[in-house]
Amino acid sequence: MKKLLFLSSASLFLFFTACQKDPAQVSVTSGINEAPIVVSPVAPPTEATDSTMLLGNPSNASSNTADFSNYLLREGYYSVSYNRDAGRPNWVSWHTTSTDYGSVPRQNDFRANDELPGDWYKANASSFGSLYEFDKGHMCPSADRTSSIEANSSTFLMTNIVAQAPNNNQQRWAALEDYCRSLVQDGNELYIISGTNGEGGKGNSNTITTTLDNGKISVPAKLWKVIVVLPNGSNDLGRVKDTTRVISVIMDNENTVGSDWKSYRVSVDDIEFLTGYDLLSKVSGAIQSVIEARVDNL
Ligand code: MN
Ligand code: MN
């Protein structure tokens, strides 16, 4: 498959062939500042190579439209359990490695996801209203998908977005996202599941809002995230051991100022109790029972 990328900052065009089965990177020197531009594979994973749910499907989401409260969307770059009547994701699951980091700028093309069945409500870029009570908060972050325009753009589908208190989104949630990227830059790959729970959050006005867009979008009461940290390698599922670091948090969806995310750490078991999901279900029961009970303290 041939792709054309225009890198305006470096004023150059690149032609290259991206092979879906060979994730080799293409490295180019710009000639302007001699900094190498690393272009990662542009093709999304095929269903056969999709690693976004390697550690499990926490709610047994399915692509049957009768499963409207737990509807599976496989975007390639991440997977979603979507809840039609809540107008938001239940959870989003993805895999991040250093090959996901490139030089593509934030696309900002928030839009409806037309993969949803035709008669379902579809939030779009303006559905949160004009008062900016809440941010359009990413589950799979834009900055985790900068290897291609298509990859970055996929994160702006509204099925990956929740109504998130602005100070939460921009401060402690963002600080945890940044910390995850530092782990990847230090030689790790991450399996991440991020989701919502309950209804009623406090945005900029500091009052509880339950829904947006005339009841079509449920504002979550809580946000949660599970991060499994593995040193770079292969056979990832088999490398999850009882010593594997797992970072999990539950945060109220409210607008307190501050970037400290560490004090929100809980166990995976706490999130399973909150949500009723079985997280990391592909990991053996013996290992789950150890890593899901532990609270990260590094
Ligand atoms: Mn965010
Ligand atoms: Mn579990």
pLDDT value, residue 35: 43
Q: Is 193 helix (H, G, I), strand (E, B) or coil?
A: strand
Q: What angle do CA 215, 216, 217 make, to 5 degrees?
A: 95
The Å distance, Cα 69 to ligand 2 centre, comes to 21
Ligand 1 midpoint to CA 297 (Å): 23
Residue among 151, 92, 82, 149 at smallest CA distance from 122: 82
- Centre of ligand 1 to C-alpha 121, Å, is 23
Confidence of residue 44 (pLDDT cuts 50, 70, 90): low
Q: Which ligand is nearest to the CA of 175?
A: 1
Nearest C-alpha neighbor of 183 from the set 229, 237, 144: 229
- Concatenate the DSSP letters of all residues of 111-146 into one string: B--TTS-TTS----TTTT-SS-SSEEEESS-GGG--
Q: Which ligand is nearest to the CA of 136?
A: 1
pLDDT of residue 279: 98
pLDDT per position as a tens digit, 89-110: 999 999 999 999 999 999 999 9
Q: Which residues have CB less than 5 Å away from ligand 2 (the ion)? A: 278-280, 288
Q: Residue 242 pLDDT more than 70?
A: yes
Q: Give catalytic status of residue 95 as yes or no.
A: no
Of 236, 235, 217, 225, residue with least CA distance to 277: 225
More confident residue, 44 or 230: 230
Residue 222 Cα to ligand 1 middle (Å): 14
Ligand sitting nearest the alpha carbon of 284: 2
37 confidence band (pLDDT: 50, 70, 90): very low
> Facing residues of 218 across strands?
211
Q: Given the residues 138, 145, 202, 225, select the one marked as catalytic.
A: 138
Cα 277 to ligand 2 centroid, rounded to whole Å? 8
pLDDT at 43: 62
Three-state DSSP at 201 gives: strand
Q: Compute the mean pLDDT over every residue in the chain, rounded to the nearest whole number.
A: 88
Q: Which amino acid is at 1?
A: M
Partner residues linked to 193 by β-bridges: 93, 226
Assess contact for 220 and 196: CB atoms under 8 A: yes
Phi, psi dihedral angles at 54 (to 5 degrees): -55, -35
The Cα-based distances of 151 to 46, 103, 273, 277, 288 in angstroms read: 13, 12, 33, 28, 31
Q: pTM (2 decimals)?
A: 0.86
Ligand nearest, relative to CA of residue 277: 2
In tens, the pLDDT along 125-157 reads 999 987 789 999 999 999 999 999 999 999 999
Residues ≥6 apart with Cβ < 8 Å to 201: 134, 163, 164, 165, 208, 209, 219, 220, 221, 252, 253, 254
CA distance 288 to 279: 9
Q: What is the pLDDT of residues 190-227, one digit of tens each?
A: 999 999 999 999 999 999 999 999 999 999 999 999 99
